[in-house]
Chain A
Amino acid sequence: EPEVTQTPSHQVTQMGQEVILRCVPISNHLYFYWYRQILGQKVEFLVSFYNNEISEKSEIFDDQFSVERPDGSNFTLKIRSTKLEDSAMYFCASSERDSSYGYTFGSGTRLTVV
């Protein structure tokens, strides 16, 4: 069964450093997403991406965040200057059609900012 692949599974970084979280969506999917889950809290939407541009973003997705699909297969989330409160599990997801059909999620990257 097709999978969404995320790397790395764990990332520890120092506050103020830049991190890039990587995702390989399912190959025939057209919609891509990032969500995050801070420990003990809800899974929260960050950003959606379609047709090579951001289609929606949440209040969390400020200027410190950016997304890119550099080569037609990878989908990356960059955090320019990490803060302690960015520590969370970050999930990438993709879908063939819009959200009403559900997504396939990756297994997540646990980001710890120290």
Chain B
Amino acid sequence: AQSVTQLDSHVSVSEGTPVLLRCNYSSSYSPSLFWYVQHPNKGLQLLLKYTSAATLVKGINGFEAEFKKSETSFHLTKPSAHMSDAAEYFCVVSDPRYSTLTFGKGTMLLVSP
């Protein structure tokens, strides 16, 4: 079975400061990993994905994530937060044996001026 743990339900940062959203996963096979973002009253937008190529993955809007197999982690980072980054972020794992995605509970990112 596969699972995803997002360690923080809420993260608060000030505009211009770094962002770190933590994610740990469990999967029996080599997983694919994703980060999705959901702005209020909007759908789920793919930020970035890891599919067994480079371990440091760059996504949209300046976000990136590093796949660390030894730590079973896939933390999301951004050097400098912007007000428009305020949203809920979901870490997601895909097991290649199945057609489904398993979502974490989400982390709400709050950005203050």
Q: Give complex CA distance A39, B94 in Å.
A: 23
Once A and B bind, how many residue pairs between them come within 8 Å at the CB atom?
66
- Does A99 contact B99, Cβ atoms closer than 8 Å? yes
Instruction: Collect the chain B residues with CB atoms within 8 Å of residue A91's CB.
Output: 43-44
Question: Once bound together, how far apart are the Cα atoms of A8 and B43, in whole Å?
Answer: 13
B22 at the interface (CB under 8 A from A): no
Which residues of chain A are near B42, meaning CB under 8 Å? Answer: 107
Are the CB atoms of A100 and B105 closer together than 8 Å?
A: no
Interface residue A103 (Cβ < 8 Å from any Cβ of B): yes
CB distance B43 to A105 under 8 Å?
A: yes
Shortest distance between the CB of A98 and any CB in chain B (Å): 6
Q: Are B49 and A99 in contact (CB under 8 A)?
A: no
The complex places the Cα of A44 from the Cα of B105 at a distance, in Å, of: 10
Q: Report whether A98 and B96 are in contact in the complex, using a CB–CB cutoff of 8 Å.
A: yes
Contact of A56 among B32, B43, B96, B100 (CB under 8 A): B100
Considering the complex, give the chain A residue whose CB is closest to the CB of B43.
A107
Question: Are A43 and B44 in contact, CB atoms less than 8 angstroms apart?
Answer: yes
For residue A112, CB closer than 8 A to chain B, the reply is no
Q: Nearest B residue to A103 by beta-carbon distance?
A: B101
For window 50-83 of chain B, which residues contact chain A by CB distance below 8 Å? 51
State how many angstroms separate the Cβ of B27 from the closest Cβ of chain A: 11
Residues of B within 8 A of A98 (CB): 96, 99
Decide if B98 touches A102 in the complex (CB within 8 Å): no
Pick 10 A–B contacts, CB within 8 A, sort by A.
Answer: A43-B106, A48-B99, A93-B44, A99-B98, A99-B101, A100-B32, A101-B49, A102-B94, A102-B101, A105-B43
| A99-B98, A99-B101 given; 15 more Cβ-contact pairs under 8 Å | A31-B99, A33-B100, A42-B106, A44-B103, A45-B100, A45-B102, A93-B44, A98-B99, A102-B32, A102-B34, A102-B94, A105-B45, A105-B46, A106-B43, A108-B44
Pairs of residues from A and B, 9 with the lowest C-beta to C-beta distance, nearest first: A107-B43, A105-B44, A100-B32, A43-B103, A99-B94, A48-B99, A45-B100, A102-B49, A105-B43
Report A's interface with B, CB cutoff 8 A.
4, 6, 31, 33, 35, 41-45, 48, 50, 55-56, 58, 91, 93, 98-108
